[in-house]
Amino acid sequence: MRKADIACGLVLLLLGGLVLWGSLTLKIGWGLNGPEGGFFPFWLAVGLVICSGVTVLKAFFRGSSYTDRPFVRKGGWVPVVKVAVPAFGMVALTEAIGLYPAAAIYLAVYMRWIGRHRWITILLVSILLPVASYFLFDKWFLIPMPKGYWTVISGLY
Amino acid sequence: MVSYPNAKGILDRDQRTLLKERNYQMEAFGNLLMGFQIALSPYNLFIATVGIVLGTIIGVLPGLGGANGVAILLPITFVMPPTSAIILLSCIYWGALFGGAITSILFNIPGEPWSVATTFDGHPMAKQGRGGEALTAAFTSSFFGAAFAIILVTFFAPLIAEFSLKFGPPEFLGIQMLTFSAFVGLGGGSVPKTLASIFIGFIMAAVGLDIISGQLRLTFGTIELMRGFNFVVAVIGLFGIGEILLTVEEGLELKGIQAKVDWRTVTRTLRELLPYWRTFIRGAIIGSWMGIKPGGATPASFMSYGLAKKLSRNPEKFGNGAIEGVIAPETAAHAAGVSALLPMITLGIPGSPTAAVMLGGLMIWGLQPGPMLFKEKPEFVWGLIASMYTGNVIGVLIVLLFVPFFAAILRVPFAILFPSIVYVCAIGAFAVNNSTTDIWYMMLFGIVGYVFKKLDYPIAPMVLALVLGDMAESALRQSLIMSQGSPMIFFASPISAVLVIASILLVVWPFISSHLHRKRAV
C-alpha cells in the first residue's frame, strides 16, 4: 500500500510539473484583459504539486503507521486483468471493425473464457445484445455507433 | 405630523413588500400548478416511468450507480425537449436511490455508499425472513424522506434563486469555494489527497480551449487534447469501469435472499411503521439539511442511524434487524438525495456527483444553470420540481410491485453481467461526442478510478471540479478583472466575505480538530 501510495504520488507530482510547465508557456501574469490563460492552471498545478509532495513525504517517512494491507490482495489482480485486457481489446477492435461486432466477440470470449457458459447461451447473448442495441441506438435514437472499416469495405450499414 | 415624514412612508413600504410577497407566493403557486401540468402530461409520465425502471435497474447492478447511469443515458436526451430530458434523468436518479435499498437488504451489498447503513439492519431482517417487511419499510421511508425534502425544495428554491440573483462573480466563487472546502472539511478523508483530487479535476477542466482568451491550453501540441476532457466520459470511466474492476477483485459472490412483497405485508408493515414517526421526521430533517452540502447523503444516513440508535427505546435490537435501523438511514439518504438538487437548480452548484452530471446536461441542452433559470425557463424548473412529486409516487409503486423482478437481475451470471456493463459504458462514452477516442479515455479513467479508490483519493470532488471548472475559473477571472487584480474583492461584499471565510475555516477545521483530539488524549 505504501509503495503504491508513493508511486501514485510521484505520478501526480510529475503531472503537476507538466501542467506547471504548460501554463508557464501560456503566461501566468496580467494581460490586456485580466489574468492570462495560464493563470488559473498555474496555481492549480502549484496546489497539486504541494499536495502530492505531502502525500509522498508522509508515505515515505511514516511508513510504519501504514497497515500491512497490500495494494492488491494476493492473486487479486488476476480477475482484474482478466476483465481489463479483454475490455481494452474490445476498444481496439472497435476502431477496426466497429462497436457492434467487437462487442459480440468480446461478450463471447469473456463468457466462454471466464464464465464457461454453454455455447448456446454464448451465441444467444453475444448476438442478441449487440443487435438489440443496434436497433435501439442506430435506428431509434439515431446515434450511429462506430463502424470501423466496415463502411469502407461494404455498404453493410 | 411634520415630525413623522418617514413613518407613513415606511408603513407604505412595508405594505408594499407584504403585497409583493403575497403576489410572489401566488406566482409560485401558479408556477407549481403549471409545473404539474407539464409533469402530468402523458409523454412526461411515460418518460418518468421509463426513468424509474431504468434507474432502479441501474441502482441494482454493480458498477452502475446514479452518477454514471445518468451519464450513460445523457446522449439519448439530446433529442428530447429539455424538460422531458431532466425528468428522465432525475427519475433515473430516484430509481437508483430505490434500487440501492434492494441490493442492501437482499444481498447485503450497498449499491451506493449511502445505503451502507441500510445493510446493518436490513440484511439481518431479510435473513430472518422479514425481507418483505424490510423492503416495504425502506421504500416507505425513502418516499417519506423524499416527499419532505421536495416540499422544502418547492418552498425554498424560488426564495434562494431570488436572493442569489444579486450574486456577482465574487459571490459565486465564494459558493464554489464553500462547496469544495466542504469536501475537505467534512469528507473525513486525507486532506492532501482530497485537495489533490479537486486540483486534478480543475486542471482537467482547463485543458482545451480557454473560454476567455480563446487560446489552446495544456494540449502539449496534440489534437486529442484540444477538445478537453469530457466529464461524462470521466464519470462513466471513474464510477463505472473503476467500480467493476474493484468488484471483480473482491471476487464478489452474490447470495441473495428471496423476498416477496405482497399487499398484506405492505399494509401490515405500514401499520407497524406508524409508531416510528419521530424517526421518520428526524431522518428527513437530517437528510434535507446535510444534502444541501456536497457529499452529504452518506454522512446523513450514518448520522440518522446513529441518532435513531441513541434515542431508541431498545437500542440493543439495532444490528439484529430493528426496523428503525432501516427507516432512519433510508429517510435521511433519500431526503439528502433530493435536497442535493436544491443548490443545483438555484445556484448552479451540484450537491452530488449525480447532480453534477445533470448540471452538465443542462449546459449541453443550452440552458444556463443558476438563478436566472427561474426567470428565463420557469417551465423547466417547475416541471422538474413537479416531476419530483410524480416521479417519487411512481417510483414507490413500481419498486413495491416489481421487487422480485429487480432482485432477479442480480441472479444473472457475472460473466454475462460484467462484459454487458462494460459494453453499455462504451456506448455511453462514445455517444457523447461520437468519438472512439472517448472510449479509450473511458478505459483510462476506469483505471484511474480503480487506483484512486484503492488509495483513498475521493472521486466525487474530482468530478464536481471537472464539471464546475469553467464556471469557477471565469468567476475568478471576472472578479479579478472587476477589482483590477486585487484579491480583496472577495471580502468587499458581506456575502462573499462570509462565504470565503467559512470555506477557509472548513479547510482548516480538520487540523484544529485533530489538534484538539491529541490534546484531549494527552
For residues B500 and B488, what is the distance between their CA atoms, to the nearest angstrom?
Answer: 11
Q: What angle do CA A34, A39, A45 make, to 5 degrees?
A: 165
Least Cα distance to B243 among B57, B434, B503, B69 occurs for B69
- The reply to whether A144 and A87 lie within a common domain is yes
B422 contacts in chain A (CB < 8 Å)? 83, 87, 90, 106
For residues A125 and B228, what is the distance between their CA atoms, to the nearest angstrom?
Answer: 36
Q: Are B51 and B396 in contact (CB under 8 A)?
A: no
What pLDDT does B181 receive? Answer: 82
**Which residue ranges make up each domain of chain B?**
23-521
- The reply to whether A59 and A96 lie within a common domain is no
- Asked whether residue A58 is domain-assigned, the answer is yes
- The reply to whether A58 and A9 lie within a common domain is yes
Q: What is the pTM of this model?
A: 0.81
What pLDDT does B13 receive? Answer: 53
For residues A56 and B355, what is the distance between their CA atoms, to the nearest angstrom?
Answer: 33
Q: State which H helix or E strand residue B473 sits in.
A: helix B460-482
Q: Are B270 and B117 in contact (CB under 8 A)?
A: no
Average pLDDT of chain A, as a whole number? 81
- The reply to whether A87 and A145 lie within a common domain is yes
- The reply to whether A105 and A46 lie within a common domain is no
Confidence of residue A150 (pLDDT cuts 50, 70, 90): low
CB of B222 within 8 Å of a chain A CB? The answer is no
What pLDDT does B9 receive? Answer: 46
B245 vs A83: CB contact, 8 Å cut-off? yes
Q: What angle do CA A51, A57, A61 make, to 5 degrees?
A: 150
Rg (CA), chain A: 24
* pLDDT, tens digit (0-9, with 9 covering 90-100), for B232-262: 888 888 888 888 888 787 765 666 677 666 7
Mutation site, B225, B246, B425, B436, interface A, largest A CB count within 10 A: B436
For residues A146 and B430, what is the distance between their CA atoms, to the nearest angstrom?
Answer: 8
For residues B463 and B465, what is the distance between their CA atoms, to the nearest angstrom?
Answer: 5
Tell me which residue range forms the domain holding A55.
2-65
What pLDDT does A41 receive? Answer: 85
By the 10 Å C-beta count (0-12 exposed, 13-18 middle, 19+ buried), A31 is classed as middle
Q: Which residue from A8, A80, A90 is facing B249, i.e. has the nearest CB?
A: A80
Cell numbers at B2, concatenated: 411634520
- Asked whether residue A89 is domain-assigned, the answer is yes
Q: Which residue would you say has higher pLDDT here, B340 or A63?
A: B340
Q: Which residues pair with B209 in a beta bridge?
A: B216
What pLDDT does B88 receive? Answer: 93
What pLDDT does B200 receive? Answer: 92
Mutation site, A10, A18, A19, interface B, largest B CB count within 10 A: A19
For chain A, how many structural domains are there in total?
2
- The reply to whether A97 and A142 lie within a common domain is yes
Mutation site, A18, A48, A72, interface B, largest B CB count within 10 A: A48
CA nearest B219 in A: which residue? Answer: A22
- Asked whether residue A73 is domain-assigned, the answer is no
What pLDDT does B47 receive? Answer: 92
Those residues of chain B that have pLDDT short of 50 are 1-11
- Asked whether residue A114 is domain-assigned, the answer is yes
Cell numbers at B443, concatenated: 478505459
For residues B48 and B208, what is the distance between their CA atoms, to the nearest angstrom?
Answer: 36
- The reply to whether A117 and A90 lie within a common domain is yes
CB of B225 within 8 Å of a chain A CB? The answer is no
- The reply to whether A39 and A95 lie within a common domain is no
Calculate mean pLDDT across residues A6-35.
82
CB of B414 within 8 Å of a chain A CB? The answer is yes
What pLDDT does B160 receive? Answer: 85
CB of B450 within 8 Å of a chain A CB? The answer is yes
- Asked whether residue A72 is domain-assigned, the answer is no
What pLDDT does B446 receive? Answer: 92
End-to-end Cα, chain A, rounded Å: 49
- The reply to whether A141 and A86 lie within a common domain is yes
- Asked whether residue A116 is domain-assigned, the answer is yes
Distance from CA of A41 to the nearest CA of B (A): 6
- Asked whether residue A75 is domain-assigned, the answer is no
CB of B443 within 8 Å of a chain A CB? The answer is yes
- The reply to whether A7 and A47 lie within a common domain is yes
- The reply to whether A29 and A87 lie within a common domain is no
In chain B, helix, strand, coil percent, each to 5? Answer: 80, 0, 20
CA of residue A129 relative to chain centroid, distance: 23
- Asked whether residue A56 is domain-assigned, the answer is yes
* pLDDT, tens digit (0-9, with 9 covering 90-100), for A84-111: 888 898 988 888 888 888 889 998 888 8
Q: What angle do CA B447, B448, B452 make, to 5 degrees?
A: 120
Q: Which residue would you say has higher pLDDT here, B511 or A112?
A: A112
What pLDDT does B87 receive? Answer: 92
Cell numbers at A10, concatenated: 510521484
β A34-35/A30-31 pair status? antiparallel
| 3-class state of residue B225 by DSSP | coil
Q: State which H helix or E strand residue A86 sits in.
A: helix A77-97
| 3-class state of residue A91 by DSSP | helix
Quote the ipTM score. Answer: 0.88
